[in-house]
Chains A and B, each alone.
Chain A
């Protein structure tokens, strides 16, 4: 008897009391257990903790406070700044990454030679360890040796070096630029894949009917890839709203909270101020946003699957 037969017979004998109709779930069980314990359960735990005041240092001394943590979100002036920053990240950051990524994908598709090599190079910013990518940008923007300052002086935009990462009025933007650099390649790859999936005959037929290049783009390219673009768009939103490393490496969310986003604030609340309850309430806020995005992500996802 080979080891495969042995595996099968021991599987059979181990599962003989489980009804046939339930056995189909057995191979899925380990994954669901893992995901349930380490991803789904913590979500429930955060919702529960958000109704308590408790310290990270003494979690057992929790005190039920009802909605007080949520009221604090509502009244805390720092949080207003943080939510505004998060909104800027999600809107400006995502839109810029999409526009840039779309152009990159379009150029890769037909305007440049060596598409597969070029797209591998373009992908490097996305796959590089997040801390590495963020450190490069910190070095480029930061300190007195930052190349960005020198570049701006050379171009005549500014007269002398300015403090960017440590200044309230600028610190929000360098991490966003770094994030656009990281996310645009991802959107470019999605665009490239979608463009390559469009049947060339459609364009041929349209040209026969006298469609201009713009009309071909507007009435063939865009409709053919609209759900793929929607999926890419939602991925950008999700990655931007839950991003932590780009901000934390470059500015630590400072100075003050001038460059903090929601995830940075959660980290600060929990691991610097030790306020687990308040941090949990902020986490719940982040869940709600992610839940909305995920809902649409899955919806568009089903649309794409349905059409295949």
Chain B
């Protein structure tokens, strides 16, 4: 038989290619991959690097042409200006003077502390609404069969695509009609509505994978459905619940369109506040960069926690992370 004489590895090797199976090809491949990584890495990381070094430059160094790639004299001036300006704009100048004997005056007009407090209020409120309402709904959607279930799920998924710019004008009309214009409650409700479908999908994924045997065991132990939900499911879902909350929190923390159109300057959250400062007269970029870093900290902390859930959350659980 002919096949007995063939070297069994010959079949395996018949598709040899220079690029993959020779030493020189290997070097070419490694160099190409290295270059690609370098180019992409610079594109992704350089803006972040630029924000950080800009924050540590002095005001005079910012105005230098050409710009310096490394700060010549690293300084905390940007951060100092942000804090001073917050103290002044927030009306704490007198208090600081009394306590520390320091007179704070600032030529810069950004009340970052006030913006952060407003954003926290809105983001925590929206996160709680989304998690509390979304979890109850997701449990039923996961565990029960009923008429219109698929339609409801599709409606929730579709509603994730529309918020923001597409509905800013009618949303303005609605909020004015409800008498909620220039209130944080309006944003809490809208952000809650924007993120609750997200939470439903994320938590539904969790409940879908939840083993039936545990629920059956709790029923054998005479748990009522409420007790099963509260004492068994909620504690076990803790990580997913925290992730859901962080998702909702981050969306509210970052959202610009509704905050810009539904609030006045006095009630601004971080995104429109920062925008107004950036587009203001004679922008001082080290201050912008310092403020940017400060408001990005909660986001980066949140990212570390929810990274695992990220893909699931974004795709409504279609792609498991």
Which residues of A does B touch, CB under 8 Å? Answer: 4-5, 7-8, 11, 21, 24-25, 27-28, 30-32, 34-35, 37-43, 45-46, 49, 56, 59, 100, 103-104, 107, 111-112, 116, 119-125, 127-133, 135-140, 144-147, 150, 153, 181, 184-186, 189-190, 193-194, 197, 207-208, 210-213, 215, 228, 231, 235, 238, 242-245, 248-249, 252, 262-263, 266-267, 270-271, 276, 279-280, 283, 286-287, 290-291, 293-294, 297-298, 300-301, 304-305, 308
Stretch at the interface among B83-91, B224-232, B236-244: B224-232
Q: Which chain B residues in 2-48 approach chain A with CB under 8 Å?
A: 11-15, 17, 20, 33, 36-37, 40, 43-45, 47-48
Cβ contacts A to B, 21 pairs, < 8 Å: A4-B230, A8-B224, A28-B136, A32-B152, A34-B192, A40-B159, A45-B170, A104-B44, A125-B44, A127-B300, A129-B295, A131-B254, A136-B48, A181-B47, A231-B315, A243-B165, A244-B256, A245-B256, A267-B165, A293-B161, A298-B154
From A111, A125, A298, give the contact of B37 (CB < 8 A). Answer: A111
From B137, B303, B311, give the contact of A27 (CB < 8 A). Answer: B137
B157 in contact (CB, < 8 A): yes
- B-chain residues with CB within 8 Å of residue A197 when the two chains form the complex: 319-320
Given contacts A42-B170, A210-B12, contact A130 B256 (CB under 8 A): yes
Which residues of B does A touch, CB under 8 Å? Answer: 11-15, 17, 20, 33, 36-37, 40, 43-45, 47-48, 50-51, 54, 62-67, 129, 133-134, 136-137, 139-141, 144, 146, 152, 154-159, 161-174, 176, 189-190, 192-194, 196-197, 200, 224-227, 230-231, 250, 253-254, 256-257, 261, 270-272, 274-275, 278-279, 285, 288-289, 292, 295-296, 299-300, 302-304, 307, 310-311, 314-321
- A-chain residues with CB within 8 Å of residue B317 when the two chains form the complex: 305
Number of A-B contacts (CB under 8 A): 303
Contact B278 A249 (CB under 8 A): yes
- B-chain residues with CB within 8 Å of residue A138 when the two chains form the complex: 278
Contact A286 B50 (CB under 8 A): no
Contact B50 A136 (CB under 8 A): yes
What is the distance, in angstroms, from A196's C-beta to the closest C-beta of chain B?
9
In this complex, what residue of A is CB-closest to B145? A24
Contact A31 B196 (CB under 8 A): yes
What is the distance, in angstroms, from B68's C-beta to the closest C-beta of chain A?
10
